[in-house]
Amino acid sequence: MPNTSKKTLISGVKPTGRPHIGNYFGAMKQFVDLQDSGKYDCRIFIADYHGLNLIQDAEEMRRLTLDLALDYIAIGLDPKKTSIFKQSDVPAHTELCWIFDTIVTMPYLMRAHAFKDAEAKDKEINVGTFNYPVLMAADILLYDADVVPVGQDQKQHIEYARDIALKFDNIFRSETFKLPTDLIMESVAVVPGTDGRKMSKSYGNTIPLFATREEITKAVMSIVTDSSGDVPVNVYNIHRLFRPESELRPLYEANKGKYANLKKALVEDIDAFIKPMRERRAELADDPKKVMRILKKGAKAANKAAAKKLEAVKKAIGVI
Ligand code: ADP
Ligand code: TRP
């Protein structure tokens, strides 16, 4: 798989539950687009050890991990093009994290946004959450990643990875690490939810990505429409994601004020879009062993690359 003319791309996703179409258009789809661009050697992993800070129930962890793998394969991550693996299957991540822990200071980690946010909420923060950026630096630096596609909120974590790489090489007078750059995924737009606000799990205004036709119908029928205009703006703004505006304009023109017709058309379009992914996901879900094999294969490739880098690190620090 490694191809020297290509850049190395890595990203991790925490297993957090059922995605919605806002997550898809705003974030998930971009991994598939980057993979299909052919410009990168891609590694995408399930950040289960990062997730462990929140998910502390074995059954839930297993279910969410499998779900996430199914989601990504169903939307088009192709195990032949992208190595997909679980972070916990590659022990070098946590081993390198410990090594970094010995050179990263507490005040430096206290300046991290995520830590400050958690502290502002007055929570008792566990050590794993405090140390989150160090494990993430290890995730990235182990693979000599050139680019790390992430959302804006993760930008600081990539800067931390760079800082940690420089600090390590400075202390141990080595040239062990490559400096990664972030690839900020600017979502095309903020996908609106059924109430016109940003689609978000926390607002309960979502259309699930792998929704059944019934679920799609229910969500679309609940879209809040404003009776003052001809065009139901909230319906239109979601519809735009599924059909070019050049086709939508005549449709909305011909159905002025006929909201029920427009909602029906939207149900058809969303269902036509989701159906193949939903079917692929269901097929895969029937064969979880196949998914596990994909993850194991990804882990094998990741372990190989990670072991090589860890050996260089161990030499640099003098434990071998
Ligand atoms: P939620 O708000 O539903 O909890 P998350 O915060 O888990 O969603 O978001 C995961 C990813 O999906 C992030 O990269 C985020 O930028 C993207 N995302 C979430 N909601 C939207 C949306 N409505 N429009 C565009 N992108 C979104
Ligand atoms: N922190 C990332 C998030 O919350 C997930 C993540 C963990 C990650 N390790 C990573 C992303 C390494 C990119 C590279 O979304």
pLDDT in tens, 39-52: 999 999 999 999 99
The answer on 53 and 106 residing in a single domain is: yes
- Predicted TM-score (pTM) of the model is 0.94
Any domain includes 193:
no
Considering every ligand atom shown, identify the ligand nearest to the alpha carbon of residue 160 and give its number.
Answer: 2
**pLDDT bucket at 1, cuts 50 / 70 / 90:** low
Query: For atom 11 of ligand 2, which residue has the closest CA?
Result: 12
For residue 170, which amino acid is it?
A: N
**In the predicted model, what is the mean pLDDT of residues 118-146?**
95
**What is the arithmetic mean of pLDDT over 194-222?**
96
Within a domain: 256: yes
Ligand 2 midpoint to CA 35 (Å): 17
pLDDT more than 90, % of the chain: 90
- Substitution candidate for ligand 1 out of 13, 14, 23 with most atoms within 8 A of CB: 23
Judge whether 195 lies within some domain: no
Same domain, 206 and 131: no
* Same domain, residue pair 143 and 23: yes
The answer on 184 and 55 residing in a single domain is: yes
Q: Is residue 2's pLDDT more than 90?
A: no
Provide the pLDDT confidence category of residue 8 given band limits of 50, 70 and 90.
very high
Same domain, 67 and 87: yes
Q: Give dist(CA 242, CA 212) in Å, integer.
A: 17
Say yes or no: 181 and 294 in one domain: yes
pLDDT at 230: 77
Residue 144 domain flag: yes
Mean pLDDT of the chain: 95
pLDDT for 86 equals 98
* Nearest residue (CA) to ligand 2, atom 6: 12
How far is the centre of ligand 1, averaged over its atoms, from the C-alpha of 200 (Å)? 6
Range of the domain at 240: 201-282
The reply to whether 25 falls in a domain is yes
Query: How many domains are contained in the chain?
Result: 2
The pLDDT value given to residue 3: 55
Answer whether residue 168 shows pLDDT above 80. Answer: yes
Same domain for 272 and 295:
no
50 by Cβ neighbours in 10 Å (0-12 / 13-18 / 19+) ranks as buried
The reported pLDDT for the residue numbered 313 is 99
Predicted local confidence at residue 299, as pLDDT: 98
Stretch 17-39: mean pLDDT, rounded? 95
User: Are residues 237 and 211 part of one domain?
Assistant: yes
CB 269 near ligand 2, within 6 Å: no
Instruction: Quickly state the pLDDT bin for 227 (edges 50, 70, 90).
Output: low
- Are residues 159 and 293 both part of a single domain? yes
> Residue 50 is part of a domain; what is its CATH number?
3.40.50.620
- Same domain? For 176 and 313 the reply is yes
Averaged pLDDT, 240-261: 94
Pocket of ligand 1 (CB under 6 A): 16, 22-23, 26-27, 151, 187, 190-191, 198-202
Q: Report whether pLDDT(160) > 80.
A: yes
What DSSP assignment string belongs to 113-168?
Answer: HHHHHHHHTT----HHHHTHHHHHHHHHHTTT-SEEEE-GGGHHHHHHHHHHHHHH
What's the pLDDT at 112? 96
Q: How far is the CA of 228 from the centre of ligand 1 (A)?
A: 30
pLDDT at residue 54 in the model: 93
pLDDT for position 280: 98
Q: Residue 137's CB: how many other CB atoms inside 10 A? A: 26
- Transcribe 79-104 into DSSP letters: TTTEEEEEGGG-THHHHHHHHHHTTS
Q: 255 with 297, same domain?
A: no
The verdict on residue 194 lying in a domain is: no
Ligand 2 pocket check for 43: Cβ under 6 Å: no
Number of Cβ within a 10 Å radius of residue 209: 23
- Residue 44's pLDDT is what? 98
> Ligand 2 mean position to 141 CA, how many Å?
13
In this structure, the answer to whether residues 13 and 115 fall within a common structural domain is: yes
